[in-house]
Structure 1
Amino acid sequence: MSEIQWQAPLCGGDGGNSCIQIGHTSTGTPILRETARPNELITTTHESLRYFIEAAKRGELDHLA
């Protein structure tokens, strides 16, 4: 896999034990990971990631929290 450019992690209120990072490859493929498991990567498309973020903003994922 090509080199990944990671953004700063987004962490929950538990002292930094629940952190998610988003990044992208040199070709632009979005990638997600938990910082506690840096070798387990989730790749997706821009369209799917956009839909996921929009659904979260609308509250469609609130039942998971």
Structure 2
Amino acid sequence: MRSLKAFQVVASEIEELYRRTRGVIQLMSEANKLADGWIYEFLIMIENDLLMRNSFEMINA
């Protein structure tokens, strides 16, 4: 009976760890989406700003 109880305790700990890990993965996914959006907006800002675009072109020339 002790081994069954020990197994149940370990199983619940594993389930909790799995739940937390999935939460972290979800947060990382959302952070990546936000970062992608920020980068996209920044690139559009550079493309639409003539002074910034010319500066970047001069740097890359």
- TM bracket, shorter-chain basis: under 0.3
Bigger fraction of residues in strand: 1
TM-score under structure 1 normalisation?
A: 0.25
Q: Which has the higher contact order (CA 8 A, sep 6+)?
A: 1
TM-score under structure 2 normalisation?
A: 0.26
Bigger fraction of residues in helix: 2
